[in-house]
């Protein structure tokens, strides 16, 4: 999780920032999670990586200057195949049940990203939290 969720973000910034600076504009969009806003049992490492992503992007936003935009999308439960990688049968069953009961379609997150990037160049949507209406 640390390699992908934190280092992956840093590597992406390192690759794109010089290009954005050269061309004089750019828009970083990253997917965090509502888990980066609170911690629940059995999610502390995942939540800590998403808290880190929010901190990194907030720092980037403050340091990027007025030509670069920085947006974090923090989804709630999205209908994905995430549960397939869970090794605990009990946790996996619970995730599948919750997913099937109230998870959002991935298109909801795509629409949030489109909203952020379609804003005028002088408007920076810093963070969007998107949750299913049934999510507590």
135 within a domain of the structure (yes/no):
no
136 within a domain of the structure (yes/no):
no
What is the span of the domain harbouring residue 24?
2-130
78 within a domain of the structure (yes/no):
yes
Q: How far is CA 34 from CA 8, 38, 50, 53, 78, in A?
A: 19, 7, 8, 12, 11
125 within a domain of the structure (yes/no):
yes
Q: How far is CA 46 from CA 33, 39, 58, 97, 113, in A?
A: 9, 9, 19, 20, 22
Helix, strand, coil percentages, rounded to 5, for the chain: 55, 15, 30
How far is C-alpha 133 from the chain's CA centre? 19
19 within a domain of the structure (yes/no):
yes
124 within a domain of the structure (yes/no):
yes
Number of structural domains found in the chain: 1
88 within a domain of the structure (yes/no):
yes
Length of the chain: 136
Q: Would you give per-residue pLDDT tens digits along the chain (136 residues)? A: 899 999 999 999 999 999 999 999 999 999 999 999 999 888 899 999 999 999 999 999 999 888 999 999 999 888 888 778 788 888 888 888 878 888 899 999 999 999 999 999 999 999 999 999 876 5
Where in the sequence numbering do the catalytic residues fall? 46
Contact 134, 105 (CB under 8 A): no
Q: Tell me the whole-structure pTM to 2 decimals.
A: 0.85
21 within a domain of the structure (yes/no):
yes
Q: Domain with 62 in it: what CATH number?
A: 3.40.50.720
């Amino acid at each position: 999780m640390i390699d992908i969720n934190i280092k992956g973000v840093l590597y992406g910034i390192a690759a794109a920032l010089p290009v954005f600076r050269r061309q004089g504009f750019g828009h970083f969009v990253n997917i965090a999670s509502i888990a980066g806003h609170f911690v629940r049992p059995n999610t502390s490492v995942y939540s800590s990586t998403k808290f880190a992503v929010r901190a990194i992007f907030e720092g980037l936003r403050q340091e990027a200057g007025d030509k670069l935009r920085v947006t974090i999308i923090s989804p709630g439960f999205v209908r994905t195949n995430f549960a397939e990688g869970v090794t605990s049968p009990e946790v996996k069953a619970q995730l599948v049940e919750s997913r099937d009961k109230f998870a959002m379609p991935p298109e909801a997150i795509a629409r949030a990203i489109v909203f952020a990037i379609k804003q005028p160049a002088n408007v920076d949507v810093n963070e969007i939290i998107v949750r299913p209406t049934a999510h507590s």
